[in-house]
Amino acid sequence: MAKIKGAIVVNIERCKGCNLCVVACPSKVLSLNNEANSKGYNYSYMEDPDSCVGCSACAYVCPDACITVYKVRV
Amino acid sequence: MTTTEIINPENLVYIKPKVLNDNPMHYCPGCSHGVVHKLIAEVIEEMDYQEKTIGIAPVGCAVFAYKYLDIDWQQAAHGRAPALATATKRLLPDRLVFTYQGDGDLAAIGTAETLHACNRGENIAIIFINNGIYGMTGGQMAPTTLVGMKSSTSPNGRTVPLNGNPLDITKLLAQLDGTCYVTRQSVHNVANVRKAKKAIRKAFENSMLGKGTSIVEVVSTCNSGWKLSPADSNIWMVENMFPAYPLGDLKDL
């Protein structure tokens, strides 16, 4: 069976660390970073990138449209 | 395959719509406004209407919508967006005209304008963000505030003898002959975001087909006003707002 692998890119400066993508991710890939962006928000990042399947759930619920999603079949 | 190999333009599946520009939004973290702005931008992009869309901004948090959506905008006095939209659509009938209003704007201060624009069946789309309070001014009680819900002007919770009943204005608008499509949506999870996008698209298409007024109510969160985290606000909304404001189409002609 073809395996699907995904990856996301978070626009760090646009992210406000609202945590909604972390809650929405069905594969528990995302987490809030301990580092903060220039506005002081703990931005979202892929803590477990290997589990990402590129479903775009995080991007759909992101209120600030800061997530870009990529998906590939391997 | 490594993450850097996957991040390649040919594998792209989701990106910020171009109609939504790069200005950082002033909304609080987790605010539903951002998602609805994004959906409107996606629909306008898919319909290829960027040059022909005129939005009417309300008074409230979304007053700055013109900074984020790269289309033409007008800004109405508090609650008067449907009146301004009426004039705009009648003068420029080939444009897609929509209003974007909160519950304080649409259901309190602009009740008369809203009811009459809908009753006349103006060919406009109304996006109605219902979060149950006046978010921008500090979380005061709105007509849509639930019974028992705490706000800064009802610190012990809204009571019917003192404050009256919550106003389900969308249900009221569905009774009017001028409306063609009245629906209630939310944007708290993926399935509902997709449904809300379809509803917005349908409302915009109805407007261009001249079928009458379309209303898309989006039951939303105001986590700052509700004093909850964004994720907890979504849970609170599902548990408390949805029983009073059930999702679904109220009218679809």
Report ipTM (2 d.p.).
0.92
pLDDT at A44: 92
Contact call for B20 and A65, based on CB within 8 A = yes
Containing structural domain, residue B118: 28-252
Q: What is the mean pLDDT of residues B35-49?
A: 93
Q: What is the mean pLDDT of residues B125-148?
A: 92
The answer to the question of residue B19 being in a domain is: no
pLDDT at A3: 86
Per-residue pLDDT at B247 exceeds 90: yes
The answer to the question of residue B80 being in a domain is: yes
Count of CB contacts below 8 A, A vs B? 98
Whole-number mean pLDDT of chain A? 90
Q: What is the mean pLDDT of residues B11-30?
A: 91
Nearest-5° Cα angle at B84, B93 to B210: 30
Per-residue pLDDT at B200 exceeds 80: yes
Which residues does residue A5 pair with via DSSP β-bridges, in sequence order? A72
Q: What is the mean pLDDT of residues B189-199?
A: 93
The structural architecture, per CATH, of the domain A4-73 is 2-Layer Sandwich (3.30)
Positive or negative CA dihedral for B228, B246, B144, B112?
positive
The answer to the question of residue B13 being in a domain is: no
| Closest chain B residue by Cα to residue A74 | B1
pLDDT tens track for A3-60: 888 999 999 999 999 999 999 999 999 999 999 999 999 999 999 888 899 899 999 9
Query: Taking the domains of chain A in order of start, what are their residue ranges?
Result: 4-73
Helix (H, G, I), strand (E, B) or coil at B189: coil
The answer to the question of residue B5 being in a domain is: no
Per-residue pLDDT at A1 exceeds 70: no
pLDDT at B179: 93
The answer to the question of residue B8 being in a domain is: no
Per-residue pLDDT at B241 exceeds 80: yes
Q: Which of B6, B30, B34 sits opposite A65 (nearest CB)?
A: B34
Provide, as residue numbers in chain B, all residues whose Cβ is less than 8 Å from the Cβ of A12. Answer: none
Q: What is the mean pLDDT of residues B85-91?
A: 94
When scoring B4, B5, B6 by the number of chain A Cβ atoms within 10 A, the one with the most, hence best to mutate, is: B6
Check residue B180 and report its DSSP letter. Answer: E
| Chain mean position to CA B199 | 11
pTM over 0.90? The answer is yes
* Cβ neighbours of residue B206 closer than 8 Å, sequence gap 6 or more: B123, B125, B180, B181, B212, B214
Per-residue pLDDT at B1 exceeds 90: no
Q: What is the mean pLDDT of residues A56-74?
A: 91
Whole-number mean pLDDT of chain B? 92
Structure tokens at B130: 């219902």
Q: What is the mean pLDDT of residues B70-97?
A: 93
Contact call for B30 and A69, based on CB within 8 A = no
pLDDT band at B4; cut points 50, 70, 90: confident
The answer to the question of residue B22 being in a domain is: no
Provide, as residue numbers in chain B, all residues whose Cβ is less than 8 Å from the Cβ of A46. Answer: 3
pLDDT at B10: 85
Contact call for B12 and A23, based on CB within 8 A = no
pLDDT at B7: 85
pLDDT at A73: 86
Q: What is the mean pLDDT of residues B207-225?
A: 92
* Minimal CA separation from B120 to chain A, in Å: 34
C-alpha to C-alpha distance for B36 and B30, rounded to whole angstroms = 12
Q: Which of B15, B20, B190 sits opposite A24 (nearest CB)?
A: B190
Q: Which of A2, A1, A8 is nearest to A74 (CA)?
A: A2
pLDDT band at B40; cut points 50, 70, 90: very high
Q: What percentage of chain B reaches a pLDDT higher than 90? A: 84
The answer to the question of residue B2 being in a domain is: no
Chain A CB within 8 Å of residue B21 CB: no
Q: What is the mean pLDDT of residues B237-253?
A: 91
Question: For chain A, first and last CA: distance in Å?
Answer: 9
Name the interface residues of A facing B (CB cutoff 8 Å).
5-7, 9, 11, 13-14, 16-20, 23-24, 41, 46, 49, 54, 56-57, 59-72, 74
pLDDT at B3: 80
pLDDT band at B206; cut points 50, 70, 90: very high
Strand order in the sheet with B248-252: B72-75, B53-57, B96-102, B125-130, B213-219, B179-186, B248-252
